[in-house]
């Protein structure tokens, strides 16, 4: 029987790659629904290719444009956040691919889990801001989350067959090091937006590419791993692996290390998130180890790239501090991309926001939303005055 798939964030990097790989398996998967913020021309092309039953466009004016372009009675087009919640809770949807970038993915993920859905999660900020809530919802409503991020998919795959979490000694997340690996702090002060968007291994959206350049992406992944695999943050390590062939590893208490390897291609973890515990054959290029030749590893430079340390600090502080970390990072990256903030000011803005925050312990969803809104408003208000 075909699985009905909803792709939330279909016009982004993960969304387009998900549709690309799923298009190869029309007998196994049907794209029942698409959702996007804008990018109407691309959304129009996706609608014509996959003929979904429903499309949600967050911006109403963009939804009206799409209706005029498609003029198809068999596709329902709606707009707004409420329509998105209705989409992810549709009883006919089997799997929700959550590929929205940033904090915006939290509420639809919560709604999908409350509806008992299986969520293929590419949005790490959901777990960073509300991991404790997400895990409780999974238990309460019998939904599930399978990670799409290459690192967390690697850990998830490496843990298959592990019958007891006490057997895990540590999780080792690999990082490419980004485009500025080996740079001095002084050299980073001259970085341009264009340079920061040139990732050496992965093709990703702008926000995650900047996060990779600052190593914040790896910091968010550390927090995400803590919740996804219910493991103490002190048992999660990061190692820089520039070739991006080993996507992450798990070391067990007997000294064994299991790693998941493959060429840098997000379509593989996307597909596995849908086929687990089975696998489907692909026509993607295979890993050729003799051709690769050498793999190298090194410790991250936390002095030059302090964002990774800030993430550990936020998780150890607990409560709403990871929310502040995530929101301040989103604002800082946005300001950098708009050329209103220097690359080296990104961690400074984040640290300042964290130091001025009064932690709320065991936050509920409304606490998380309020803290996000307050931090976002405060930092944007200060833009131009201090930054």
CB 185 within 8 A of CB 303: yes
Distance between CA 172 and CA 225 in Å, rounded?
Answer: 10
Q: Which helix (H) or strand (E) holds 139?
A: helix 124-141
* Runs of H (alpha helix) within 29-123: 40-50, 60-70, 81-88, 106-114
Q: Which of 316, 335, 357 is the endpoint of a domain?
A: 316
Q: Which of 121, 147, 173 is the endpoint of a domain?
A: 147
Q: What is the pLDDT of residues 144-173, one digit of tens each?
A: 999 999 999 999 999 998 989 899 999 999
Residue 202's Cβ-count burial label (10 Å; 0-12, 13-18, 19+) is middle
CB 347 within 8 A of CB 214: yes
Mean pLDDT of the residues in the chain? 93
Q: Which of 147, 175, 203 is the endpoint of a domain?
A: 147
Distance between CA 55 and CA 221 in Å, rounded?
Answer: 30
Backbone angles phi and psi of 365, in degrees to 5:
-60, -45
Distance between CA 66 and CA 40 in Å, rounded?
Answer: 6
Strands 168-175 and 236-240: what pairing? parallel
Distance between CA 227 and CA 134 in Å, rounded?
Answer: 9
Same-domain check for residues 101 and 243:
no
Same-domain check for residues 292 and 210:
yes
Distance between CA 251 and CA 245 in Å, rounded?
Answer: 17
Same-domain check for residues 124 and 171:
no
Quote the tokens at residue 361: 């312990």
Alpha-carbon Rg for the chain in angstroms: 20
Domain count, the chain: 3
Same-domain check for residues 56 and 173:
no
Query: What's the pLDDT at 178?
Result: 87
Same-domain check for residues 252 and 337:
no
Same-domain check for residues 175 and 283:
yes
Q: What is the pLDDT of residues 286-304, one digit of tens each?
A: 999 999 999 999 999 999 9
Q: Rounded to 5 degrees, what angle do the CA atoms 292, 293, 295 make?
A: 85
Same-domain check for residues 292 and 216:
yes
Cα pseudo-dihedral 175, 178, 184, 188, rounded to 10: -140
Same-domain check for residues 189 and 260:
yes
Query: What's the pLDDT at 5?
Result: 98
Residue 310: half-sphere exposure toward Cβ, Cα within 13 Å: 29
Around Cβ 4, how many Cβ atoms within 10 Å? 18
Find all residues with CB under 8 Å of 89, minimum gap 6, and list them.
111, 112, 114, 115, 117
Mark 55-75 as b/e (b = at least 16 C-beta within 10 Å): bbbbeeebbebbbeebeeeeb
CATH of the domain at 13: 3.40.50.720
Same-domain check for residues 173 and 95:
no
| Helix-helix angle 206-214:346-355, to 10 degrees | 80
Query: What's the pLDDT at 201?
Result: 66
Same-domain check for residues 36 and 90:
yes
Query: What's the pLDDT at 73?
Result: 74
Domain boundaries, position 300: 153-316
Query: What's the pLDDT at 202?
Result: 62
Distance between CA 37 and CA 55 in Å, rounded?
Answer: 11
Same-domain check for residues 323 and 309:
no
Q: What is the pLDDT of residues 182-231, one digit of tens each?
A: 999 999 999 999 999 987 666 677 888 999 999 999 999 999 999 999 99
Distance between CA 31 and CA 49 in Å, rounded?
Answer: 10
Distance between CA 354 and CA 374 in Å, rounded?
Answer: 13
Query: What's the pLDDT at 101?
Result: 81
Same-domain check for residues 192 and 283:
yes
- DSSP assignment letter at 298: B
Query: What's the pLDDT at 200?
Result: 66
CATH of the domain at 375: 1.10.1740.10
Each residue's pLDDT, cut to its tens digit, for the chain (387 residues) gives: 899 999 999 999 899 999 999 999 999 999 999 999 878 999 999 999 999 999 999 999 999 999 999 887 789 999 999 999 999 999 999 999 999 987 889 999 999 999 999 999 999 889 999 999 999 999 999 999 999 999 999 999 999 989 898 999 999 999 999 899 999 999 999 999 999 998 766 667 788 899 999 999 999 999 999 999 999 999 999 999 999 999 999 999 999 999 999 999 999 999 999 999 999 999 999 999 999 999 999 999 999 999 999 999 999 999 999 999 999 999 999 999 999 999 999 999 999 999 999 999 999 999 999 999 999 999 998 765 544
């Amino acid at each position: 029987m075909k699985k009905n798939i909803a792709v939330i964030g279909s016009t982004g990097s993960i969304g387009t790659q998900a549709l690309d790989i799923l298009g190869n398996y029309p007998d196994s998967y049907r794209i029942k629904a698409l959702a996007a913020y804008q990018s109407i021309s691309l959304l129009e092309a996706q609608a014509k290719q996959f003929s979904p039953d429903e499309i949600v466009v967050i911006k109403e004016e963009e939804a009206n444009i799409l209706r005029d372009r498609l003029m198809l009675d068999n596709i329902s087009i709606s707009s707004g956040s409420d329509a998105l919640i209705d989409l992810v809770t549709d009883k006919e949807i089997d799997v929700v691919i959550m590929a929205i970038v940033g904090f915006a993915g939290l509420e639809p993920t919560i709604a999908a889990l409350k509806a008992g859905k299986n969520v293929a999660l590419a949005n790490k900020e959901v777990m960073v801001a509300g991991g404790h809530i997400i895990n409780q919802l999974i238990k309460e409503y019998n939904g599930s989350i399978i990670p799409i991020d290459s690192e967390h998919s690697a850990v998830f795959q490496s843990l298959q067959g592990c019958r007891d979490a006490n057997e895990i000694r540590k999780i080792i997340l690999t990082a490419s090091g980004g485009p500025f690996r080996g740079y001095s702090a002084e050299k980073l002060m001259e970085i341009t937006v264009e340079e920061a968007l040139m990732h050496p291994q992965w093709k990703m959206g702008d926000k995650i590419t900047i996060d990779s350049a600052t190593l914040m992406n790896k910091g968010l992944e550390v927090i995400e791993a803590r919740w996804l695999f219910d493991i103490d943050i002190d048992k999660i390590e990061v190692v820089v692996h520039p070739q991006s062939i080993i996507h992450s590893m798990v070391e067990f208490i007997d000294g064994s290390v299991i790693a998941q390897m493959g060429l840098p291609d997000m379509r593989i973890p996307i597909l596995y998130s849908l086929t687990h515990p089975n696998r489907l054959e692909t026509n993607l290029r295979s890993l050729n180890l003799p051709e690769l030749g050498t793999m190298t590893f090194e410790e991250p430079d936390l002095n030059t790239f302090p964002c990774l340390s800030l993430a550990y600090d936020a998780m150890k502080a607990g409560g709403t501090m990871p929310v502040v970390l995530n929101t301040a990072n989103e604002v800082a990256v946005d300001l950098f991309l708009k050329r209103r903030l220097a690359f080296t000011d990104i961690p400074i803005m984040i640290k300042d926001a964290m130091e001025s925050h009064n932690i709320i312990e065991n936050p509920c969803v409304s606490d998380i939303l309020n803290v996000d809104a307050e931090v976002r408003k405060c930092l944007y208000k200060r833009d131009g005055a201090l930054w």
